Each structure stands twice: as structure tokens, then as C-alpha cells.
Amino acid sequence: MNTKDWADFPYDTSPYTYEGQALADAWPQLHRGDCEPLPDDKQLLEAWRRYHAGDFAGAVDLAGEIGIAAHAVANKASGIYADYLEEDDDTKLAIYEAGIARAEEAIGQFPDDANAHYFHAFLLGRYSQCISITKALSQGVGGKIRESLDTALELAPEHAEAHTAMGLYHAEIIDKIGKMIGAMTYGASADEAMKQFERALELSPDAPIAHIEYGNGLYLLFGDKRLDESNAAYEKAAAIEPIDAMQKLDVEFAKASI
């Protein structure tokens, strides 16, 4: 993947550098959402250090040198970069497609790695939003997302980001094709969506993205009827003190959306 033209992280990175032992010390808090284990490999740890500090291109480049064992950091770094910082739609789509292929290779090699399955679902979800949820469903993407999220949660039941993604999966299907067809075709349920969002918030109450996607889910499912609650979720996200570059991007997005 060519990262030489990737945009720089637009905020001060100094609060998120985690030099030396600081990264290992902060690891449980930094990875509360994705349950990624602390790596033994120094290169892989450095790739994650770059990711947390907002050097998404550097993280992906180093992950490429390491190989498929670094799939999680490569997919998280590239996915967050594409989501927030890439402005060209074709480039964004290419990043998601490369990540999906990487995740599929990781699933083949590490079938018991929850994040191989989670990032497969995450990137398929972002790909779907890029081309339109309706078009993606017609391509059979919905079933693949559901299968990967189910597997991720079987392997890591406390994976907060997977719970958030599962909530969004249910909410977006209902929003696009309705409760009845969504339930009959995909097993989508508003009650299940809310259950998943609430579980994510229980597991990671300090993660801005959990509140943002909860707010999104409320609006997708209930529209203006629960707009105040949706807005309140964004306000909670905006008030959180970020602990790494991803959270900083989430918080700034929430602030801009209020």
C-alpha cells in the first residue's frame, strides 16, 4: 500500500507518544475497546506506538515489513486514516479493499484471533458506507459482516468495538430496508441493536466512539423521536479527554457535529 501521499495527523501528537515503557503501562486502557494483547515483538509494539501517536502511514509501513502478524495494527491504522483523514473517495475505497483482503488472509492464518474477524467486519462496514449500504447488501456484504462479528464476539465476548459494530449493523439494516424485511432477511432487530450499543458503553465508557455510534444508532433507529438522546451521546463523546490519536479524531468529530 502506497502511503507516501497520506495526510498528516492534524493535531498535536505529544500527548500520545507513549515512549518506552509508557506504552506497555497504558496498554490495558488503550486497548480496552479492541482486546488486542500486548505484543512481545518489539517491531510490532513500535507499529502500535506509531498508530497511537497518529503516524498512521508509519504504522502501516512498519506493519507491511513485519507481515501478516501485524494485520491488526495495519487494518486499524489504515481504517481510521481512511475514515477521518483521506479526502479522495477512490483512495479511501482502495484502502478499505486492501484492508479487507489483509483481514481475510489473517483469518486464514489466525482463525482464533478475534481482531482478524473484527477488522474484517469493520472494514467491510466502512466499505459498505463508502459505496452505499443498499448496494453493499445487494453484494452479500451484510452476511459477511454478521459472520465476522459473531466470530469476533465468540472469541472475545468483551470486545467493546465489536459490540458497537454489531449494534450499528442492526441499526443500518433497519434504517435502509425496514424492520420487517431486515428481521426476515438478516435477523436485524432494534432491541438487539440497543443491547449491543449498551454493552459497548458498559465495557468502554470512556471511549468516544462508543458514544458516537450509540448516538448514530439512536438516530438510525428512531429518528427525531430520540434526537435529544442522540445529541446527548455526541456531547458525552465531545467531553471525553482523548488518550490517543484515534480518540482525538473521534472527539473532534463529535465536537464538530454538535
Write the pLDDT tens digit of every residue in 8-20. Answer: 999 999 999 999 9
- Does residue 182 register a pLDDT over 90? no
- Residue 61's contacts (CB-CB under 8 Å, 6 or more residues apart) are 3
Domains recognised in the chain with CATH numbers: 14-257 (1.25.40.920)
- Does residue 250 register a pLDDT over 90? yes
**Which grid coordinates belong to 243?**
488518550
pTM summary value = 0.95
**pLDDT-based confidence at residue 187 (cuts at 50, 70, 90):** confident
Res 181: pLDDT: 84
Closest CA to 193 of 132, 157, 146, 238: 146
CA dihedral angle for residue 30, residue 250, residue 116, residue 143, rounded to 10 degrees: 140
Res 185: pLDDT: 84
Res 183: pLDDT: 84
Write the pLDDT tens digit of every residue in 126-178. Answer: 998 888 877 877 888 889 999 999 999 999 999 999 999 999 999 999 998 88
Task: Determine how many CB atoms are found less than 10 A away from the CB of residue 41.
Answer: 11
Write the pLDDT tens digit of every residue in 25-45. Answer: 999 999 999 999 999 999 999
**pLDDT-based confidence at residue 98 (cuts at 50, 70, 90):** very high
Write the pLDDT tens digit of every residue in 215-239. Answer: 999 999 999 999 999 999 999 999 9
Q: Would residue 121 be called left, alpha or beta, if left means φ above 0 and alpha means ψ between -120 and 50 degrees?
A: alpha
Amino acid at 60: V
Res 236: pLDDT: 98
